[in-house]
Amino acid sequence: MIELIRKSFKGGIHPPEYKEFTALKKIEVPPLPKLVIIPLQQHIGKPSEAIVKAGDHVYLGQPLSTSSGYVSVPSHASISGTVKTIEPYPHPLGGVLPSVIIEGDGEDNILHQFTLQSDYQSLSPDELKKRIADAGIAGMGGATFPTHVKLAPPADKPINTVILNGAECEPYLTADHRLMLEYPNEILEGLRIIMRILGVKRGIIGIENNKPDAIAVFQRLTHSDPAINVLSLRVKYPQGAEKQLIYAATKRSVPAGKLPMEVGCIVQNVGTAKAIYEAIAYKKPLIERVVTITGAVNNPMNLMVRIGTPAKSLIEYCGGFSGTPAKVIVGGPMMGIAQYTLDIPVIKGTSGIVVLPEDGWQHIEEQPCINCGKCIEVCPMNLLPRQLDTYVRNGLWNKAQEIGILNCIECGSCAYVCPGGRSLVHSIRYGKFRVMESEKSKEKATKN
């Protein structure tokens, strides 16, 4: 069923899109990487535990690690070859983390063929969730929350709506857009599997209306299915944030500090839906994903990339830098993380690698707050960014907590509109860290 209503949410901004570099570029498959770096933690929760050692020969799709707890997922070999070492390695989310480093043999020898499983339609919800967990699937929109956990809400939190997130509101990124154009049937079947697991009769696919071709594809595929609606969403950042997407699609407001399940919703990225379908129907683990390589590179592309591929090799495949780069960001320019090395690998949550050019890049020195209120107007969480910044800079953690610092989604809208160039996101992120550390200390003291 089609519902073309340009829905949105309060607040938000309209940064330049810069999607024209890659929006019309079909997904390409680069050559096999000669070496991959597979971090043991590519997800929220406990890191996985290695089950291979240096010198082991591994096959494509072979498990390299096992979950170390319920909120954890395994990782798999994305190429065949030999485990060179397991050691700390630069991670795209910051710091260095233990990683399995594999030297490829160039053969792509597979552990088992990813053939269609004739029984997948008859699997129970528990069997479906186990297959998803075994495939190592974590949210591919960037949050990287273990998918099998998200699909197992408590019994007292019944879900009645599943929303697929095809908004892709970050500037530059087009990986999800191309995925929706080139793999729509797989995405739809993934949605139906999610709905079956949760016993849900209502599915929504939310797509920003700057992707009319993707909207048209899903209109055609769902026109006779009353259980699935296609929503055309207003172009506004951060339209793809969970709580904002839920409000835009259903007018349900997720309470501060709560999860979408509180209002009967589950949100999954379109890439995650495709990975779910492949895990269920083909027993294919999460070993590759689409990544947009764009910005100041000579040939911007959308690539189907093996997990663990070094960023440096992908930039080289795209013709290298066009000029001198100012920053290389993993993710989008609003919520992504600037990198200090190009040796970092692609992980399950890597949607893009954006190179910002030095030419035209202007650093703004921080100025005092002029109380213009623009940050308050655009905050999609209805917070007071300037007040939070003041409390954090003065070490007033309790006051920052009282006015909702932990509810900040770090979207960067406030910093984007600040005429004084104040580092509001960095300030609030630090404040969140201090508040959470304070809460942990209180819990520890109570237990003792």
pLDDT at 448: 67
**CA angle 147-151-155, nearest 5°?**
150
**pLDDT tens for residues 363-405?**
678 999 999 999 999 999 999 999 999 999 999 999 999 999 9
Between residues 67 and 112, which one has the greater pLDDT? 67
Contacts of 387 (CB under 8 A, 6+ apart): 403
- The span from the CA of 267 to the CA of 54, in Å, is 39
pLDDT at 211: 98
Between residues 8 and 89, which one has the greater pLDDT? 89
Q: Which two tokens stand for residue 133?
A: 């967990």
- Taking 80 as the threshold, does the pLDDT of residue 154 lie above it? yes
Strand, coil or helix: 156: coil
pLDDT at 359: 81
DSSP characters over 346-373: P-TT--EEEEEESTT--PPPP-------
- The span from the CA of 206 to the CA of 433, in Å, is 32
pLDDT at 19: 98
Q: What's the mean pLDDT in 8-26?
A: 94
* 66, amino acid identity: T
Which of 111-120, 198-207, 399-408 is the least confident region? 111-120
- Taking 70 as the threshold, does the pLDDT of residue 134 lie above it? yes
Q: What's the mean pLDDT in 185-212?
A: 97
pLDDT at 2: 47
**pLDDT tens for residues 227-243?**
999 999 999 999 999 99
Closest CA to 273 of 258, 290, 261: 290
pLDDT at 48: 97
Per CATH, the number for 1-29+114-362 is 3.40.50.11540
Strand, coil or helix: 22: coil
Both ends of the chain: CA-CA distance in Å? 56
**In this structure, are residues 415 and 429 in contact, taking their beta carbons and an 8 Å threshold?**
no
- Taking 60 as the threshold, does the pLDDT of residue 5 lie above it? no
- Taking 80 as the threshold, does the pLDDT of residue 118 lie above it? yes
Q: H or E stretch including 230?
A: strand 228-233
Q: What's the mean pLDDT in 169-185?
A: 98
pLDDT at 1: 47
Q: Please state, rounded to an integer, the average pLDDT across all residues of the chain.
A: 95
Q: What's the mean pLDDT in 397-420?
A: 96
- The span from the CA of 430 to the CA of 428, in Å, is 5
pLDDT at 10: 86
Contacts of 337 (CB under 8 A, 6+ apart): 92, 93, 94, 329, 330, 331
Q: Can you give the pTM of this predicted structure?
A: 0.94
- Taking 90 as the threshold, does the pLDDT of residue 8 lie above it? no
- The span from the CA of 201 to the CA of 265, in Å, is 12
pLDDT at 444: 78
**pLDDT tens for residues 46-62?**
999 999 999 999 999 99
pLDDT at 361: 64
